[in-house]
Amino acid sequence: MDMNLTMIAAGAIGKMMVMAAIGFAGYKLGLIRSGERDALTKFLLNVICPILILSSYMQGYDPEKTRGLFLSLGMGVVIHAIGILLGLLLIRKEGNPDWQVERMAITYGNVGFMGMPLMSAMFGIDAIFYLSAINLVYVFLIWTHGVLLMTGSMDRSNLKKVFLSPNMICMAVGILIYACRIPVPDFIASPVNSISSCVTPLAMIISGAIIAGSNFGEALKHKRLYLVTVLRLFAVPAITAVCVRVLHVPYMVALITFTAAACPMGSMVTMFAIEHKKNPGYASGIFTVTTVLSLFTIPALIALYGMI
Q: 32-60, pLDDT tens digit by residue?
A: 988 888 888 888 878 888 898 888 888 88
Distances, alpha carbon 194 to alpha carbons 48, 59, 267, in Å: 10, 15, 25
Give the pTM: 0.83
Stretch 278-291: mean pLDDT: 86
Q: What domain range is 177 assigned to?
A: 2-307
The CATH number linked to 43 is: 1.20.1530.20
Higher pLDDT, 111 or 85: 85
Are 159 and 104 within 8 A, CB to CB?
no
> Which residue pairs from 277-283 have beta carbons closer than 8 angstroms and sit at least 24 positions apart in sequence?
278/98, 278/100, 278/101, 278/150, 279/97, 279/98, 279/101, 281/215, 281/218, 282/98, 282/101, 282/219, 282/222, 282/225, 283/101, 283/105
Tell me the CB-side half-sphere exposure of residue 240, using CA atoms within 13 A.
35
| More confidently predicted of 116 and 289 | 289
Hey, which residues does 265 pair with through a beta bridge?
109
Q: Which of 50-59, 124-133, 242-251, 271-280 has the highest mean pLDDT?
A: 242-251
Separation in Å, CA 229 to CA 109, 123, 173: 11, 26, 36
pLDDT confidence tier of residue 71, bands split at 50, 70 and 90? very high
C-alpha span between 20 and 6 (Å, rounded)? 20
Query: Is the predicted pLDDT of residue 228 greater than 90, yes or no?
Result: yes
- Between residues 271 and 102, the one the model is more confident about: 102
User: What pLDDT, in 10s, does the model give residues 160-185?
Assistant: 777 788 878 888 898 899 888 888 89
Contact of 130 with 69, CB cutoff 8 Å = yes
* Higher-pLDDT residue of 299, 289: 289
pLDDT of 132 above 90: no
What percent of the chain is modeled with pLDDT above 70? 95
Question: Over 90: is that where the pLDDT of 236 sits?
Answer: yes
| Average confidence score pLDDT of the chain | 86
Going by pLDDT thresholds of 50, 70 and 90, the confidence category of residue 199 is confident
Q: What's at 264, amino acid-wise?
A: P
Confirm if 69 and 253 have CB atoms less than 8 A apart: no
What is each CA distance from 126 to 35, 66, 252, in whole angstroms? 34, 12, 9
- State how many domains the chain has: 1
Percent of the chain past pLDDT 90, that is, above it, reads: 29
Q: Which amino acid is at 282?
A: Y
> Best-predicted range by mean pLDDT among 20-24, 128-132, 205-209?
20-24
Residue 234 has pLDDT above 80, yes or no: yes
Residue 200, pLDDT score: 81
Checking if the pLDDT of 1 tops 60, the result is no
Contact by Cβ (8 Å): 112, 133: no
pLDDT on residue 2: 54
Residue 158 pLDDT: 65
Banded model confidence at residue 67, pLDDT cuts 50, 70, 90: very high
pLDDT in tens, 253-268: 998 999 999 999 987 8
pLDDT in tens, 149-163: 988 776 666 667 777
